[in-house]
Structure 1
Amino acid sequence: METSMSVEEVMNQISKLMQKEGQQLRKKQVKKSNPELMKNALYYFPSWETAIEQSVGS
């Protein structure tokens, strides 16, 4: 699978969404509104939850 974002870009976008939304990002919601982000996040991380944890923890 080819990615269109680097792992840093994925983490930055998740962090920005977290700040903008101010709440947990639901997988279904993000998959619908930003499928490219979801696809890339699941390429780099084993789960959406792990991607969020790594993005917030960095």
Structure 2
Amino acid sequence: MDVKFTSKEVITQIKKLHNEGNSLRKKEVKQYYPDLMRSALHYYPSWQHAVDESKVS
């Protein structure tokens, strides 16, 4: 699997999306930010785990 982001970058990108007011819903992130979703699922067991780890929800 091609992973574009490190685990730290995944968290940083999730925080950035949240701070900019973007949706963190899995379906929308998968559609608009596929590299972020792919990387998140490489490091975390689920998208929700990655969001929880970023402490934005």
Task: Say yes or no: TM over 0.5.
Answer: yes
Identity within the alignment, %:
43
- 1:43 corresponds to: 42
Unaligned runs of 5+ in 2: none
**TM-score calculated relative to the size of structure 2:** 0.86
**1:2 positional shift:** 3.4
- 1:21 corresponds to: 21
Regions of 4+ moved over 2 Å? none
Task: Letter of the 1:45 partner, please give it.
Answer: Y
Aligned residues: 56
In the alignment, the residues of structure 2 paired with residue 9 and residue 53 of structure 1 have an alpha-carbon distance, to the nearest angstrom, of: 15
Larger helix proportion, structure 1 or 2? 1
Deviations 1:28-57 (A, max 9, x none): 000000000000000000011100000126
**1:5 positional shift:** 1.1
Unaligned runs of 5+ in 1: none
